[in-house]
Amino acid sequence: MKPACSASLVSNPFGTTITADDIRETLGFFDAWEDRYKYIIDLGKELPPMDDDKKTDERLVRGCQSQVWIDTRCEGGRYWFDVDSDAFIVKGLLGVVLAAYNGKQAEDITSFDIDAYFEDLDLIRHLSTARGNGLKAMVDRIKAEVA
């Protein structure tokens, strides 16, 4: 079910002060994937904490190796996502995704070429198959929420 849109202030750096272009640029500075992984994990530390009462089966993303929760709200015609995971690298991957989607309108989310974004980051080939499938499940869940 698509969340109702209301107007209120949102404080989350992803999609606002940390954008997809910022992540592309920063990851481009690193030559070694070990440094890129550290950066991605650090992105996860920038995620605002999700309230434990939001960590419900309804918000749990199926298809992820780790536990991932996504809560969607629409405020002022823009979609915001509260997310969490029990794995540090997955929280970082959520940050990468939110940089592209958070604070955007539905049409911007559905039209954003997430595959090209991941390709630019050279991300998929450096993830295990299970992590790659989980990343796809996160993206699919967000797109379904705004469709």
Domain ranges in the chain?
A: 20-146
pLDDT digits (tens, 9 = 90+) for 53-81: 999 999 999 988 899 999 999 999 999 99
Residues 114-125 have pLDDT tens digits of: 999 999 999 988
H or E stretch covering 53: none
| pLDDT tier at 2, thresholds 50, 70, 90 | low
Please answer whether residues 68 and 98 qualify as being in contact, where contact means their C-beta atoms are separated by less than 8 angstroms. Answer: no
Residues whose CB falls within 8 Å of the CB of residue 29, separated by 6 or more in sequence, listed in order: none
Query: pLDDT category, 93, cuts 50, 70, 90?
Result: very high
Q: Range with the lowest mean pLDDT among 7-16, 77-86, 97-106? A: 7-16
Q: Is the dihedral of CA 83, 89, 92, 97 positive or negative?
A: negative
The per-residue pLDDT for 94 is: 96
Instruction: Tell me the CA end-to-end span of the chain in Å, nearest whole number.
Output: 9
Pairing mode of beta strands 68-75, 5-6? parallel
CATH class of the domain at 20-146: alpha beta
Nearest one of 85, 9, 104 to 41, comparing CA atoms: 85
- Tell me the catalytic residues: 64
% residues pLDDT > 90 (the chain) = 78
Alpha helices, H only, the chain = 20-29, 33-45, 88-101, 106-111, 114-121, 129-146
Q: What are the pLDDT digits (tens) for 34-50?
A: 999 999 999 999 998 89
